[in-house]
Amino acid sequence: MKIGIIGSGAVGQTLGAKLVELGHDVVLGTRDPQKLDEKKNMAASLKDWLAAVKNKAKVVTFKEAAVHGEMLISCTHGQISVEALKLAEADKVGPKVLIDTANELDASQGMPPRALASQDRSVSENIQKAFPNLKVVKSLNTIGAPVMVNPKAVHNGDHTIFVSGNDAEAKAKVTDLLKSFGWSDVLDLGDLSSARGPEMYMALWLRLWGATKTGMINIKVQR
Ligand SMILES: NC(=O)c1ccc[n+]([C@@H]2O[C@H](COP(=O)([O-])OP(=O)(O)OC[C@H]3O[C@@H](n4cnc5c(N)ncnc54)[C@H](OP(=O)(O)O)[C@@H]3O)[C@@H](O)[C@H]2O)c1
């Protein structure tokens, strides 16, 4: 499948590399594709990323990524995800499925970052409101990037990932993609307003990270 990733940090690079490995036609969007040498926050330079994926993907603008993908993945700070998708002109690309991986975190006052998520809103709903053409599905925001694409690395994969969204078909497509990464327990939380739950969960995840001193963690919803 053609996949356009909007965001070139740890999440965009990790998902992009896995999708290339699975045989997808991947482009990774960044604001200035000429700046391949610049080290990305918590991730490799895009030059190193391209070498790691053996040049089987391309680094393009946000706009080119939005045009390319049959499915889009938004991987930017939650505070500016709408702004990044405006740069991508995502309003002009038709009814595409977009996976929103974002959290709103504020590290300006030191570690751990403050989770800004609220009972009254979510990044995903903000994106859906700004881009009614897209079929937004919240997922992947509740685990660290390495776990996203390698769930078996934690407790042999026996733990839970969530999807939230207004479109059942879009959630089914995202669930299929998650299963191709190795996820077996995909829990549908409901419509997009349910994304407030996994976004607020970040407050707990950050404390679990602090307590266990590893990002290779997740929760299992026993039922
Ligand atoms: N890191 C993780 O393990 C993890 C796990 C779960 C969820 N998340 C969430 O996933 C999202 C992505 O995280 P990340 O660590 O991969 O990347 P990030 O560092 O949060 O974001 C990187 C992307 O944001 C773009 N960007 C930064 N400022 C911008 C602005 N003002 N306007 C437009 N674009 C801007 C960058 O553009 P350029 O490409 O031009 O540099 C880059 O593509 C975040 O919301 C994060 O909270 C992260």
Q: Which atom of ligand 1 is nearest to the CA of 7?
A: 43
C-alpha span between 92 and 159 (Å, rounded): 37
- What pTM value is reported for the model? 0.98
**Mind listing the pLDDT tens digit for each residue in 76-121?**
999 999 999 999 999 999 999 999 999 999 999 998 999 999 999 9
Is the distance from the beta carbon of residue 12 to the nearest atom of ligand 1 less than 6 Å?
Answer: yes
Question: What is the pLDDT, as a whole number, of residue 83?
Answer: 98
Is the distance from the beta carbon of residue 41 to the nearest atom of ligand 1 less than 6 Å?
Answer: yes
Question: What is the pLDDT, as a whole number, of residue 41?
Answer: 82
Ligand 1: residue whose CA is nearest its atom 21: 76
| Residue 191 Cα distances to 124, 137, 138, angstroms | 11, 9, 10
Question: What is the pLDDT, as a whole number, of residue 197?
Answer: 98
C-alpha span between 111 and 106 (Å, rounded): 9
Q: Which atom of ligand 1 is nearest to the CA of 84?
A: 33
Is the distance from the beta carbon of residue 157 to the nearest atom of ligand 1 less than 6 Å?
Answer: no
Positions of the chain with pLDDT lower than 50, given as ranges = none
Is the distance from the beta carbon of residue 218 to the nearest atom of ligand 1 less than 6 Å?
Answer: no
In the three-class reduction of DSSP (H, G, I as helix; E, B as strand; rest coil), residue 113 is classed as coil
Question: What is the pLDDT, as a whole number, of residue 28?
Answer: 98
222 CA from centroid of ligand 1 (Å): 31
- Reported as type and span, the H/E element at residue 110 is none
Is the distance from the beta carbon of residue 221 to the nearest atom of ligand 1 less than 6 Å?
Answer: no
Question: What is the pLDDT, as a whole number, of residue 176?
Answer: 98
Closest CA to 164 of 131, 199, 204: 199
Question: What is the pLDDT, as a whole number, of residue 37?
Answer: 94
Question: What is the pLDDT, as a whole number, of residue 1?
Answer: 98
In which residue are the tokens 């994969």 written? 157
Q: Which atom of ligand 1 is nearest to the CA of 12?
A: 16
Considering only the C-alpha atoms of the chain, give the largest distance between any 2 of them, rounded to a whole number of Å.
Answer: 49
Is the distance from the beta carbon of residue 75 to the nearest atom of ligand 1 less than 6 Å?
Answer: yes
* CB hemisphere CA count around 210 (13 angstroms): 10
Phi-psi region for residue 213, left (φ > 0), alpha (ψ -120 to 50) or beta? left
Determine the residue of 75, 79, 202 to mutate for testing ligand 1's pocket, defined as the one with the most ligand atoms within 8 A of the Cβ atom.
Answer: 75
**Mind listing the pLDDT tens digit for each residue in 36-54?**
999 888 899 999 999 999 9
